[in-house]
Amino acid sequence: MPYTHTRRPGFWLGFVDFFTAGLFFLFYIPLGGLHRELERLLGHRIMPYWQAYLLGIPTLFIFPLVWMANLAEELRVKAEAMGVSGPHTSWRHMFWWNMLGCLCFGPMIATHRFFGTLNRLERAENRANGFG
């Protein structure tokens, strides 16, 4: 089965999510099929975003940031293993752009790089499986 969402606009998704305090991703990740695609691409089950979001409330939203940074690192490792060209996202990139860049466009830059890596990985998987 091919990946159909290979051109997600990461900057704009991060923009909307930042200004809705993460509530946008509560709906987009499960309903947009992103959770299912990440599990299929990474080859294992991942914690649902809503659980990470709820655990973020008592941790001042550090938990969902670390959750997303861990996914970013797994995507980087997968992209490098498949030989997909960069630039790639990473744990450090996701975490520090969100932490230090939160007063400007940091979260949008981090999300843009995350979805850029994800889009390239999904296109590479489609080509490898004969879907394009």
Distances (CA, A) of 111 to 12, 25, 45, 108, 126: 9, 11, 21, 5, 22
57-110 per-position pLDDT tens digit: 999 999 999 999 999 999 999 999 999 998 999 999 999 999 998 778 999 999
pTM for the model stands at: 0.94
State how far the Cα of 98 lies from the Cα of 18, in Å rounded to an integer.
10
Q: Which residues of 96-122 are buried (b: 16+ CB within 10 A; e: fewer)?
A: ebbeeeeeeebbbbbbbbbbbbbbbbb
In the chain, domain spans: 29-128
Q: What is the pLDDT of residues 2-47, one digit of tens each?
A: 999 999 999 999 999 999 999 999 999 999 999 999 999 999 999 9
Q: What distance in Å separates the CA atoms of residue 114 and residue 69, rounded to the nearest whole number?
A: 9
